[in-house]
Amino acid sequence: MFDRLKQAFQSIATAVKQKELTDEELDKALFSFQISLTESDVGQRVAESLAREVQASLSGAKVDRSADLSEVVGEKLSAVLGEAFAKAGTVDLVGNIKEKRKSGEPYSILFLGINGTGKTTTVAKVANRLKKSDLSVVCAAGDTHRPGAIEQLTEHADRLGVKVVSQRYGADPAAVGRDGILYAKAHHSDCLLIDSAGRMQTNQNLMEEMAKIVRVVKPDFRLFVADALTGNDAVSQAELFNEHVGFDGAVLTKADADVRGGAALSIVYSTGKPVLFLGVGQGYDDLVPFDSAKFLGSLLKAA
């Protein structure tokens, strides 16, 4: 997993290792560093910004030219990324749900993302995970646009023994979410998972629809679902949703495939929001907590 991104970090180290550090050489190393990052699916703007940060700290510091430059670069990079991941923080969903339940109210999670990213599957995986933590779960079929979306969610939920609140196709998704809240309250459920529509991310109506669900339902958590295989697109989608709707954390699906890792790094660095889970397959148990320390450690060790 993430082999391409590890290679990118290795190539930075090699580029710097093989040269004596002058400003010009540093520029060159950082330029090739940016290209390697971009090839590893780190967004262009993120790569440039990271390079700027690393350069600013290096040119400001007194670097012994005989020093191990791969270590110097590695440490700066580690510091910059470590700070970004630390700022994004971590989320204890189960803990948060239990805390909210003390007030007698269900905890609601709105799933956001573009069609095909694995949103509905992730709703099912999260339901499965929460059930295994002895929490009761209800789902709301908030994608009232895509033909088959309600049946797809219902099929997953039936297999997991979870109730789905739904209306007809074309219904207002915010009303479906509100119904879900009412049902979850009436049945003393711990948590409500709300699926949502995900047609083209550039569709202004979609952003308005999502913003309306947020206004009406006031979810406790907005979970953005991104397909790690789409690399740069996943990052642009994250930026768009973050700007127009806002989200509190992300899930990166399809991390079981040959994923370069840049999407995880870029989403955290550019939105400041944490990645909570990685989707690592099509089964309900194929959802693993994202360990940022391990992720960064393995990248930087590779360098």
* 108 vs 120, beta carbon nearer ligand GDP: 120
Residues that bind ligand GDP (CB under 6 A): 113, 115-121, 198, 253-254, 256-257, 279-282, 286
Give residue number: closest CB to ligand GDP.
279
Task: Dig out the tokens for 73 from the structure.
Answer: 């670069």
Contact present, 120 and 195 (Cβ < 8 Å): yes
Q: How far is the CB of 117 from ligand GDP (least distance, A)?
A: 4
Distance CA 290, CA 89 (A): 12
Residue with tokens 């999502």: 210
* 106 vs 279, beta carbon nearer ligand GDP: 279
* 116 vs 297, beta carbon nearer ligand GDP: 116
Q: How far is the CB of 260 from ligand GDP (least distance, A)?
A: 15
DSSP 105: P
Which of 67, 69, 97, 81 is CA-nearest to residue 37?
81
* 55 vs 115, beta carbon nearer ligand GDP: 115
Q: How far is the CB of 269 from ligand GDP (least distance, A)?
A: 22
* 76 vs 125, beta carbon nearer ligand GDP: 125
Which of 290, 272, 271, 270 is CA-nearest to residue 280?
290
Q: How far is the CB of 215 from ligand GDP (least distance, A)?
A: 23
Q: How far is the CB of 149 from ligand GDP (least distance, A)?
A: 7
DSSP 89: -
Which of 225, 233, 230, 228 is CA-nearest to residue 273?
225
Q: How far is the CB of 28 from ligand GDP (least distance, A)?
A: 38
Distance CA 253, CA 13 (A): 29
* 115 vs 154, beta carbon nearer ligand GDP: 115
Distance CA 204, CA 202 (A): 6
